Structure 1
Amino acid sequence: MNTSSHFPSGDRPEGRPSRRTVLATIAASPAVIAPLLPATRAEAAPERHGDLLYIGTWGQGQVHAVRFESDHGTMTSLGRVAEVSSNWVAAHPTRPVLYVAGGEQGGLVRVLRIDGASGALRQIGQVETESVPTGTGGLSYIGLTAAADALLVADFAAGSAVAVAVDADGRLGGVVSRVQDTGSGPHPRQAGPHPHHVVVDPSRRFALVADFGADRVFVYDYDRTTHRLSAGPPDGPGAYATAPGSGPRRLAFHPNGQAVYLLNELTADIQTLRWDAARGVLTLRQVLSTNAPGHTGATSAAELAVSRDGHHVYVSNRGENTLVVFSADARTGRLTEIQRVPCGGVTPWSFALHPGGRWLFVANEASGTVNLFRVDPESGRLTDTGAGVAVPAPDCIAFHVRADASGRPRF
């Protein structure tokens, strides 16, 4: 697999398995399967019903698509639908638009139009998000605000977070603002700031940046009208400090708006933080390891998600190739581990909960599979369906959900 140096090193887990280890793990795991159908280009695919999954590929310069029928849990590979660098992908919630963050110099974000019938993609625009090229690109995350009126960008290589305006039709306007993180950590991969995730809080007054390199969650002021990020005078941005060498990677708000979950990559722990929306301050409530008791070897946590009802929190652990499920207290957000299950492959780089809440897809990067799990809506527990599709080095998943007759998403 191509792992050329223009991709951010902060996404390479410690102790990445060798090819021999990957193949041995695949052979021992019944859940990792061949493609359900031979890969075909989406342009040649007939019109089908169902949602579309778009899958970025780490270092492969491709975006793949899968047709998913949520009523029956069936997956059909549509194969490669775009040949672009795809560090991260995000889909517009109501428009047929996919955003793809690349690894090239300049911090490129491409805008692609979705053909809902075939799954094919057509580029309709792009934005360069770096003011000064870093020489090595490396966008680690892009995501839309809740109102889908701005795209938030974490530039791992440049150490900055960027807001880009989004037009009513889903096209990108210009870069609205850019903020520069500062700091470093003790790990060799923490020589400088490396933003890994950006989210806007429910009040839409603050933007939180999980910075892998600085061991900080920076809290910037956010203007909901102009989408401008600012450091907040006179002392710069607020910040929550993690333990040195933690490597903050992912953030997620509980629906109650008062709790935030922080996943640290290097220490593979999840923190429950209290969010003071009036002052923009984070306070530690709880720390739990996502490693199993007695864990030895590589330590690397990767992805984090909260169920729509806030009852459950999901984490992927790349060091152990597992998914970990927690129940969440409705009032405090405090977590209790309820399940630990193999991820169905090797190196669960990312996963995504289907908007309907009944399915979870895992991008197992090293084994080259996207695996499907059933979600019990009451208990939150996961069941490996044994279904999956082959995708080269999958790193992230975005959904384009079909609409009903009224134009609302079907789930």
Structure 2
Amino acid sequence: MLTALTASAATAVPLLGAAPADAVPSRHGDLLYIGTWAQGQVHAVRFDADRGAMTPLGPVAEVSSNWLTVHPTRPVLYVAGGEQTGFVRAFRINDDSGALRQVGEIETETVPASSGGLAYIGLTADSKALLVAHFGAGSAATVLVGADGGLDGVASRVLDTGSGPHPRQLGPHAHHMVIDPSRRFALVADFGADRVFVYDYDRTSHRLSAGADGPGAFATAPGSGPRRLAFHPDGRTVYLLNELTADLQVLRWDARRSTLTSRQTLTTNAPDHLGPTSAAELAISHDGRHVYTSNRGENTLVVHATDPASGRLTQVQRLPCSGDTPWSFSLHPGGRWMFVANEASDTVNLFRVAPGSGRLTDTGTSVAVPHPDCIGFRTPHVPGRHVPGRG
């Protein structure tokens, strides 16, 4: 269908940049891999979760990195590129040093898009496929992942349709994709079409399909720009963050009918908000009690508490992101920390997450990274050491 390409030093150069003199590589700590918007690099940071200490390791690969994700059990990093044809590259991780070695490359589009590259990649729950959203092409794809974490080819590709009233919405722009808990449907947030498309998903072949009548769809407000989706652990509630209107929607998911219905809409803007409006990132705590968002128009993080019965939200905290343009953030697997990629101020900032209340506290700790856009975690396996989230 589409062919996997061999690794090429011309497109992605592994390297380990000079680390600070006191940065001694060690397996006793997590590795943070950080993409850089339009900078052509991936950076690495060693993180001590007990002390809340970050040690920069510098750039570890020269490669376009719009988004990235890490295999949960294999030492493999996947990087989504900004090229118009949508490249996904796989890198083998050296747990001792953090260095990367490219081991695979695949192209998800045969025809170059008019603008933009990949907006998102993420692994399915069984880690046997990558979910890929191509912003410029307005398409969503699945890429098969082998037992060793390698790329095994493109399984399927579907094309969104539609447009919106905003100048950035001249056509479809797939921005995010998630699989529903029943593993029968894929939900695609399309920024350009003001839609959440619902495609059929085959859990065995990992293929996406639209059906004879096309995909189902949930329509958002015109000009809202859907950006991020997240399922609550209850499997019935979906949270949707819209970029252009900076609002957060609570949706009810009906897996029997494969439909979404609106339950609540909240703004992530402050009551006295003026100027540009732009929301960026969305995440749910592991216990489902809190929903976190970032607001790039105000340089803030917003925390909401969830109602256990309805999934509806109540805002509990709004605080500065300690930088400019919080492009994304990631919750540490242990649940105690949040890392914020402040793209315009060139920093990754560390926040503490309070158990129970979910409230955030700025630790004042940060590392310098040029235009950070995405953060992934690798926890090296150490015999006798418990790894959060792995039993």
TM-score of the aligned structures, taking structure 1 as reference length: 0.88
CA contact (8 A) 2:333 2:388 kept: no
Counting only pairs closer than 5 Å after superposition, residues 191-230 of structure 1 correspond to structure 2 as 191-230=170-209
Equivalent residue, structure 1, for 2:362: 384
- Mapped pair 1:148 → 2:137: no
Counting only pairs closer than 5 Å after superposition, residues 167-316 of structure 1 correspond to structure 2 as 167-233=146-212, 235-316=213-294
**Structure 1 Cα separation of the partners of residues 380 and 337 of structure 2:** 16
Choose from 132, 142, 145 the match for 1:166: 145
CA deviation digits over 1:132-189, x for unaligned, max 9?
2225451000000111111000000111000011111111111000000000000000
**Structure 2 Cα separation of the partners of residues 391 and 257 of structure 1:** 36
Structure 2 counterpart of 1:332, one-letter code: S
RMSD over aligned CA atoms reads 1.6
- Mapped pair 1:324 → 2:306: no
CA deviation digits over 1:335-378, x for unaligned, max 9?
00000010010000000000100000000000000000000120
Specify the SS of the correspondent of 1:186.
Answer: coil
Equivalent residue, structure 2, for 1:128: 107
Tell me which stretches of 4 or more aligned residues in structure 1 moved more than 3 Å.
44-48
**Structure 1 Cα separation of the partners of residues 384 and 85 of structure 2:** 40
**Structure 1 Cα separation of the partners of residues 347 and 386 of structure 2:** 30
Equivalent residue, structure 2, for 1:363: 341
CA contact (8 A) 2:84 2:136 kept: no
Specify the SS of the correspondent of 2:43.
Answer: strand
Pick which of 132-141 and 312-321 moved more. Answer: 132-141
Structure 2 counterpart of 1:49, one-letter code: H
CA deviation digits over 1:173-229, x for unaligned, max 9?
110000000000000000000000011011100000000000000000000000010
Equivalent residue, structure 1, for 2:34: 55
- Unpaired runs of at least 5, structure 2: 1-16
Pair 1:166–1:407, CA change in 2 (3 A): farther
**Structure 2 Cα separation of the partners of residues 148 and 319 of structure 1:** 35
Structure 2 counterpart of 1:72, one-letter code: R
Whose relative contact order is higher, 1 or 2, with alpha carbons under 8 Å and at least 6 apart?
1
**Structure 2 Cα separation of the partners of residues 292 and 195 of structure 1:** 28
Choose from 88, 100, 118 the match for 2:67: 88
TM-score of the aligned structures, taking structure 2 as reference length: 0.93
Share of identical aligned residues, percent?
73
- Mapped pair 1:107 → 2:86: yes
Aligned length: 372
**Structure 2 Cα separation of the partners of residues 147 and 294 of structure 1:** 44
- Unpaired runs of at least 5, structure 1: 1-37
Equivalent residue, structure 1, for 2:14: none
Specify the SS of the correspondent of 1:363.
Answer: strand
- Mapped pair 1:336 → 2:319: no
CA contact (8 A) 2:163 2:192 kept: yes
CA contact (8 A) 1:404 1:410 kept: no
Specify the SS of the correspondent of 1:409.
Answer: coil
Equivalent residue, structure 2, for 1:372: 350
CA contact (8 A) 2:114 2:137 kept: no
CA deviation digits over 1:238-269, x for unaligned, max 9?
00000000000000000000000000000000
Equivalent residue, structure 2, for 1:30: none
Structure 2 counterpart of 1:306, one-letter code: I
Structure 1 counterpart of 2:122, one-letter code: G
- Mapped pair 1:70 → 2:44: no
Structure 1 counterpart of 2:161, one-letter code: T
Offset of residue 401 of structure 1? 1.4
**Structure 2 Cα separation of the partners of residues 395 and 47 of structure 1:** 25
Equivalent residue, structure 2, for 1:24: none
Structure 1 counterpart of 2:112, one-letter code: P
